[in-house]
Amino acid sequence: MKIVTVAGARPNFMKIAPIIKEFKKHRGWENLLVHTGQHYDEEMCKFFFNDLGISEPDVNLGVGSGLQGEQTGKIMIEFEKILFSHKPDLVTVVGDVNSTLACALVAAKLHIKVAHVEAGLRSFDKLMPEEVNRKLTDQISDYLFAPSPDAVENLIKEGIPESKIFLVGNIMIDTLINFLKKAEKSDILKRLRLSKERYAVLTLHRPSNVDNRQSLTEILSALNLIRERIKIVFPIHPRMQKQIKDFGLENLILGKNNFIITNPLGYLEFLKLISEAKFVLTDSGGIQEETTVLGIPCLTLRKTTERPITVKMGTNIVVGSGKKDIVDAAFNVLEGKAKKGQVPELWDGKTAERIVDILANSD
């Protein structure tokens, strides 16, 4: 079987790493790794390739950033050339970024089978570009690999034939389990002068938070109260720094005691950081899953989540972006009232094995 596996953004690499590893175990299978370049930072990509043991991509489309339609269109144009050239039997896409939908759509139009890993996740918020990408990708995929029972239910309700749906578990957790021991050796805590459970970790990148001055002001104001009780570590993206400057909010974040701002971190460094934290504040999807498995309280700075199982079973609480709600939730954790959770079914590090077994035994 000839396969093309697509990655477009940094979180995609954590999802494809265990799948590629399993593909290599099958004699006669050929896998071509395509990086669309949707998110591309040479230094960060080098970190992720090295940390995850992924070979450099066979193809880099180099599309770069852009408006939603512009970026999606560029990916489709360039990816179509790859499919005409290599004529694969299957295209594997992961997650919900623009690259996911663009490459799935091109493959479907060329009658090439599509496997979508992380199928069925829904926030039910159509204002999120990722929600549109998720729903449309699922409609045109041939193999829908769902991470949790609620994702399966979503797909069935949307009319997807059950014969295409497979409950396989969470691919992100394969990578977490595979690399946790290696991450434990990281000296990131020593370098930042941190002690276990004496700090919180913050990640922030969603447009609804970062591109909205009111929301960003509320969040940063909440953090200023929280930092009076515990250190906050914030690996910040250059775009986030620009937004803070453009909105004139530097006074809420720069030069503050107990506010430790770092450059973006590699996967192993970041995994070590969150695994030893008192709690995590985030608007990321994947981090909600990782903290659930690690047993670390997670406060999600959004109104919705496409991963409700992390709320129902895990350590996640959706607190929104309001100052009072964020502060109250953080103080509850500091006062010993953190939410306890358990690990969902099949989040056991064997998701990639199940995916590849299904592909190997399909028609």
Domain boundaries, the chain: 2-169+347-360, 180-334
User: Could you say which of 3.40.50.10860, 3.30.43.10, 3.30.70.141, 3.40.50.2000 is the CATH number of the domain covering 2-169+347-360?
Assistant: 3.40.50.2000
User: Architecture of domain 180-334 in CATH?
Assistant: 3-Layer(aba) Sandwich (3.40)
Per DSSP, helices labelled H in the chain are 10-23, 42-52, 68-86, 98-109, 129-140, 149-157, 171-184, 188-192, 207-210, 213-226, 238-246, 267-275, 286-294, 309-312, 323-334, 351-360
Residue 194 corresponds to which tokens in the numbers above? 């941190």
pLDDT at 41 (0 to 100)? 61
Examine domains 2-169+347-360 and 180-334 and report if their fold is the same.
yes
For residue 245, the tally of other CB atoms under 10 A from its CB is 11
Check residue 135 and report its DSSP letter.
H
Query: What are all long-range contacts of 344-348, with beta carbons under 8 Å and residues at least 24 apart?
Result: 344/148, 344/170, 344/292, 344/309, 344/313, 344/314, 345/148, 345/149, 345/169, 346/147, 346/167, 346/168, 346/169, 346/170, 347/147, 347/169, 347/170, 347/173, 347/289, 347/292, 347/293, 348/169, 348/173, 348/177
- pLDDT under 70: residue ranges of the chain: 39-48, 363
Catalytic residue among 26, 35, 86, 205: 205
pLDDT at 43: 59
pLDDT computed for residue 206 by the predictor: 86
Is 205 one of the catalytic residues?
A: yes
| Beta bridge pairs of residue 130 | none
Q: With contact defined as beta carbons under 8 Å apart, do 144 and 109 qualify?
A: no
Residue 45, pLDDT score: 65
Please choose, from the candidates 172, 199, 203, the residue with its C-alpha nearest in 3D space to the C-alpha of residue 301. 203
SS3 65: coil
Q: pTM for the whole thing?
A: 0.94
User: What's the confidence (pLDDT) of residue 42?
Assistant: 61
pLDDT at 40: 59
The reported pLDDT for the residue numbered 231 is 98
